[in-house]
């Protein structure tokens, strides 16, 4: 079971601040908002610590006796209060692979950094499951593999203690198998996830029973050769340098994948949304399907990129991966879509 130690300190801090200020937000003691955080949220324990220096660092921590690492990015822009948190999940190690794919912490073609623009702290965790050049997440409880649920909980514990964050205002996003891991995280840590956003990787995990509805945005290319729009696994992974050990941990995940619309509809049903979905054109090569009238306003969106391959739409930082993964679609800018939805959901 996923450990939830990190919630204790932030909630104690919130209670002490509220008691000292005499403020009354109208909520019963010990309760939290169902989807969006309060309009003036109390920060995590890190707000009482020295401010972190801006920029990229590689952080280490010990989980179950083993040293693990993750990349932390603190925006260069000044903040007038607690910041949102982005958890950016890679499909495979190394973590900087995902940094290049999403480009959320790197300069785009105009020199702008999305994390700086929106003022978000970003963590990019490092998977260690399997063997060889590409390691991945323990999604099928492989014997001898690390407990990634515990690892991610500890990463979020640590960043909440070190950085001044808004409790519950966390965007969890992932690419490909990282999107599968993000989907799992939304099931197990729903109280902390304001939005689940995936590119080429939304999953409907078995036995997923989140403590509250989680809003979802999934982006998927219709010509994806790795994790096809129609479900299952495509021909693309044959070109990856995957060891037998790493592959063994993925077989059970990719073979049970359903079509993207069915997976999104499963999340909509989980969130209590209306059965009928609405479609909207986002341009010549992108269509958004939305399930609304959901419990706690946790709507579900699937953005289909016509002809899109296994890439992060709008990314300008993954050019070296194009020969392997396919051309980057410019039908939408995924980072803008994701952040706009996050802002609309989390406030």
Query: pLDDT tens-digit profile of 285-321?
Result: 999 999 999 999 999 999 999 999 999 999 999 999 9
Q: Indicate if the pLDDT at residue 160 is higher than 80.
A: yes
Burial class, 156, CB count within 10 angstroms (exposed 0-12 / middle 13-18 / buried 19+): buried
Return the number of other C-beta atoms located less than 10 Å from residue 238's C-beta.
10
Smallest Cα–Cα separation from 173: which of 96, 267, 87, 253? 87
CATH for 164: 3.40.50.1820
Q: Is the predicted pLDDT of residue 6 greater than 70, yes or no? A: no
CB 330 within 8 A of CB 307: no
44 pLDDT above the threshold of 50: yes
Q: What is the mean pLDDT of residues 169-197?
A: 97
Neighbours of 9 (CB within 10 A): 16
Is 35 a domain residue?
no
**Cα gap 133→325, rounded to integer Å:** 17
Q: Are strands 165-175 and 83-89 parallel, antiparallel or unpaired?
A: parallel
Whether 57 has a pLDDT exceeding 90, the answer reads yes
pLDDT reported for residue 346: 77
Q: Is the pLDDT of residue 248 over 90?
A: yes
Within a domain: 282: yes
Average confidence (pLDDT) over 198-206 = 97
Does residue 31 belong to any structural domain of this protein? no
> Does pLDDT of 187 surpass 70?
yes
- Which pLDDT score is estimated for 347? 65
pLDDT band at 212 (very low <50, low <70, confident <90, very high): very high
Q: What is the pLDDT of residue 13?
A: 32
pLDDT at position 154, please? Answer: 97
What integer is the mean pLDDT of 141-148? 95
pLDDT of 180 reads 98
If you average pLDDT over residues 159-165, what whole number do you get? 97
pLDDT tier at 40 (50, 70, 90 boundaries)?
very low
Task: Kindly calculate the radius of gyration of the chain based on its CA atoms and give it in whole angstroms.
Answer: 19
Domain enclosing residue 98, as ranges: 5-25+40-346
Who has greater pLDDT, 37 or 87? 87
| Residue 23 in this model has a pLDDT that exceeds 80 | no
Measured N-to-C along each axis, helices 148-162 and 8-21 cross at an angle, to the nearest 10 degrees, of: 30
In a domain, 331, yes or no: yes
- Average pLDDT over the chain reads 89
The whole-number pLDDT of residue 59 equals 98
Question: How much is the pTM?
Answer: 0.88
Tell me the C-alpha distance between 47 and 14, whole Å.
Answer: 11
**pLDDT at position 193:** 96
The DSSP bridge partners found for residue 67 are: 62
Mean pLDDT of 229-238: 96
| pLDDT beyond 60 at 232 | yes
* pLDDT tens digits, 74-85: 999 998 899 999
Report the pLDDT value the prediction gives residue 9, as an integer from 0 to 100. 34
The encoded tokens of residue 163 equal 């950085």
Of all residues in the chain, the percent with pLDDT exceeding 70 is 88
**How many domains does one find in the chain?**
1
State the DSSP H helix or E strand holding residue 68, giving kind and residue range, or none if neither: strand 66-74
Determine the 3-state secondary structure of 158 from DSSP.
Answer: helix
Is 137 inside any structural domain? Answer: yes
């Amino acid at each position: 079971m996923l450990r939830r130690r990190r919630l204790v300190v932030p909630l104690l801090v919130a209670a002490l601040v509220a008691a000292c200020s005499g403020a009354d937000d109208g909520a019963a003691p010990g309760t939290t908002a169902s989807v969006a955080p309060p309009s003036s949220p109390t920060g995590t324990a890190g707000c009482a610590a020295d401010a972190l220096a801006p920029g990229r660092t590689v952080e280490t921590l010990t989980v179950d006796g083993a040293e693990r690492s993750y990349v932390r990015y603190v925006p260069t822009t000044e903040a007038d209060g607690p910041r949102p948190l982005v958890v950016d999940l890679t499909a495979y190690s190394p973590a900087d692979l995902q940094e290049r794919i999403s480009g959320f912490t790197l300069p785009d073609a105009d020199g702008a950094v999305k994390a700086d623009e929106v003022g978000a702290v970003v963590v990019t965790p490092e998977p260690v499951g399997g063997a060889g050049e590409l390691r991945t997440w323990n999604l099928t409880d492989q014997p001898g593999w690390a407990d990634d649920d515990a690892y991610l909980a500890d990463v979020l514990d640590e960043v909440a203690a070190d950085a001044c964050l808004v409790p519950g205002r966390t965007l969890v996003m992932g690419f490909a198998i990282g999107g599968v891991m993000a989907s799992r995280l939304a099931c197990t840590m729903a109280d902390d996830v304001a939005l689940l956003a995936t590119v080429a990787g939304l999953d409907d995990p078995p036995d997923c029973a989140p403590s509250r509805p989680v809003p979802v945005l999934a982006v998927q290319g219709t010509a994806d050769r790795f994790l096809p729009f129609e479900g299952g696994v495509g021909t693309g992974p044959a070109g990856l340098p995957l060891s037998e050990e790493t592959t063994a941990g993925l077989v059970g995940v990719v073979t049970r994948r359903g079509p993207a619309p069915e997976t999104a509809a499963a999340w909509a049903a989980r969130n209590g949304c209306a059965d009928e979905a609405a479609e909207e054109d986002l341009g010549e090569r992108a269509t958004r399907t939305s399930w609304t009238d959901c419990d706690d306003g946790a709507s579900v969106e699937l953005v289909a990129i016509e002809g899109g391959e296994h890439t992060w739409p709008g990314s300008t930082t993954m050019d070296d991966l194009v020969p392997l993964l396919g051309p980057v679609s410019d039908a939408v800018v995924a980072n803008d879509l994701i952040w706009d939805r996050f802002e609309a959901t989390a406030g």
